[in-house]
Chain A
Amino acid sequence: MGESILATSGVTKRFDGLVAVDDITYQVSEGETAGIIGPNGAGKSTFFNLLTGYFRPSEGQVHFKGRDITKRPSYERVMMGIARTFQLVSVFDSMSVMENMMLARVRQGQDYKSKTRFFFKNAHYRGLEKECADALDTLGIADKADALTGDMGYGEKRELEIAIALSLNPKILLLDEPFAGLSLVDIAHISEVIKKIKGQFTIVIIEHKISKLMDLVESLCVINEGALVCNGNPQEVICDAKVKECYWGKEDMVCY
């Protein structure tokens, strides 16, 4: 495995006395696909929000490629290469699928750097439309380009959100429960997509159910009640006594 790309040291997040994330020291190596699991309300999403700048930690630091980014706002982290999706799909329903894509693509290229182009050039020109259509095609939703995003199904919106995240030139992609609320067909599709992009850059996936991650990730970390319980090889992690305790209670369970 490569060097650490994203790491936290002792991050803690408190909300009026509730400790949502409790002193987590964690790191992801460059190029790996890592999973984070934990029961509902364990603090997984809050931990993600600390990594991506949605919240600022009450204590501790976040490092990206060795640089302290604890105080960097979210939009700067995105430009460093930290892209994410949300647990509840978050795309712009009032805009067309193409416009959603354009907004993400434009920020990465010449249309943003040149302010005359950004403010005055018609966004619907062939070069950008082609680029966006290609990006949509990787998720198999190119035929929806002209549809209003609000009219799409939930699965398609999640595909769009992943397509958007992929087009931000990510060095690390953080997926917050990419399978939540989806049909089995959509789960299979998104799982395929993740397998396809795996290895191109670092990926961190939050998931609620262990089973969906076992064949995707190289390392697995378990969070419970805001604290890191266990981190390492997935097979070893699910056999860990503490992990079994937080998932299934104190009784002994058979490893599978």
Chain B
Amino acid sequence: MFSKIEKSPILTLALVTVLFLLYGYATSLPKITDFIIFCIFVIGFDLLYGHMGQLSFGHMLYLGAGAYGCGMFAYHVYPDPFLSILVGVLLGAALAALLGTVVVKTSAAAFALLNLALNEVGAYLALSPLHEWTGGEDGLSLFFESYGWVDFNDSTFRFYFCLGALLLVILVVTAFVRSPYGILLKSIKENETRVKFLGYNTFVYKYVTFIISGAIVGFAGALTSVNLAYCNTSLIAPTRNVEVIFAALMGGAGTVLGAVVGGTAFMTISNYLASYIVRWEMFLGVALLAFAFWFRKGIWGYARKL
């Protein structure tokens, strides 16, 4: 059943919409808005990891770029929400385009660690040398203009706006996966050298994918800024990279819906389990071991076969 849903973009979007509406109204809309934004982050990250096979330990950098791009524009330039989000996305993409020229030439462990190193540098820059712009440790408190019912101070509007954003990202990334480019990504993941002997300059496509990933993750960062109405260094903290990696693994790397399932599952555990078990991370660690040893394909990897 699920595999049929996955093949049809309309059914996919409908399923995601219905489930998030149910979840949102059954619990609380602001909380589920966080979940939705995190899902966008996971999709952007998984384009590199699950689809192309490059694991980054430093994608919080691009989340931070999006968050600060959006936040600094709203704070220092003009508090239009849409322009601010656009600036966040562009900053994420531009930073990926700049750093990608070096990072994409590496792979495997070097790729993962180089990203982490750059994330550390970025977090430090945001905290200290650039504190006049970024607000340093205090962060920036943001305010956004509202136009009639387009009001980002209203949590219900934010919920629907972010849900719409998630649907847009799912639609675009699903199109990628089904296109020749998606097949190319899969083949690069399996054997990059061989792809070159089919006439593809693989560096170009790895670089483009890195930029697209940076843009999507930047988008998630910008939405986070808008949703929280502030941005601070926790949105670029390198230690939080583990969250997105956990989520991608849990959901099932390499599928768009897997990223959404993983993002939601991770957020559910970290939000709700934390109220019952103080050190919930231990539970998460055990769960990850189970996934690594017995459920390699993740939740969605098994559910889609039902």
Contacts and interface: CB of A to CB of B under 8 A. Distances in A.
Contacts of B182: 123
Interface stretch (A21-29, A36-44, A100-108, A243-251): A100-108
Interface stretch (B79-87, B198-206, B298-306): B198-206
Centre residue among A102, A106, A111, A112 by max chain B CB count within 10 A? A106
A29 B163 CA distance: 63
B211 to A, nearest CB: 13
A163 B240 CA distance: 47
Interface residues of A, number: 36
Contact of A121 (B180, B186, B191, B194): B180
A79 interface: yes
A119 B181 contact: yes
B176 interface: yes
A201 interface: no
Interface in A96-147: 99, 102-104, 106-108, 111-112, 117-124
Contacts, number: 84
Nearest to A116: B179
Contact of B198 (A107, A117, A121): A107
B199 A78 contact: yes
Interface in B162-186: 175-176, 178-184, 186
A175 interface: no
Contacts of B202: 75
Contact of A90 (B181, B183, B189, B191): B191
B9 to A, nearest CB: 10
A104 B175 contact: no
Contacts of A75: 196-202
Contacts of A124: 178
Contacts of A52: 197
A95 B187 contact: yes
Interface of A is mostly: helix
Contact of A102 (B180, B194, B196): B180
Contacts of A112: 180
Contacts of A76: 201
B190 interface: yes
Contacts of B178: 122-124
A99 B186 contact: yes
Nearest to B189: A94
A168 B198 contact: yes
A119 B176 contact: yes
A118 B179 contact: yes
Nearest to B178: A122
Contacts of A102: 180, 183
Given A95-B186, A95-B190, A73 B201 contact: yes
A106 B180 contact: yes
Centre residue among A86, A122, A124 by max chain B CB count within 10 A? A122
Interface in A42-75: 52, 54, 73-75
A85 B6 CA distance: 35
Given A78-B198, A79-B199, A107-B199, A123 B180 contact: yes
Centre residue among B175, B193, B196 by max chain A CB count within 10 A? B196
A157 interface: no
Centre residue among B187, B189, B198, B201 by max chain A CB count within 10 A? B198
A124 B181 CA distance: 12
Given A74-B196, A75-B199, A107-B200, A123 B190 contact: no
A13 interface: no
Contacts of B181: 118-119
26 contacts: A74-B196, A75-B200, A75-B201, A76-B201, A78-B197, A79-B199, A83-B197, A84-B197, A86-B194, A92-B191, A93-B190, A94-B190, A102-B180, A103-B183, A103-B195, A106-B183, A107-B198, A107-B199, A112-B180, A120-B179, A121-B179, A121-B180, A122-B175, A123-B183, A168-B198, A168-B199
Interface of B: 175-176, 178-184, 186-187, 189-191, 193-202
Interface of A: 52, 54, 73-76, 78-79, 83-84, 86, 90-95, 99, 102-104, 106-108, 111-112, 117-124, 164, 168
Given A54-B193, A106-B180, A111-B180, 12 more contacts: A75-B200, A76-B201, A91-B194, A92-B187, A95-B187, A99-B183, A103-B180, A103-B195, A112-B180, A119-B176, A122-B178, A123-B179
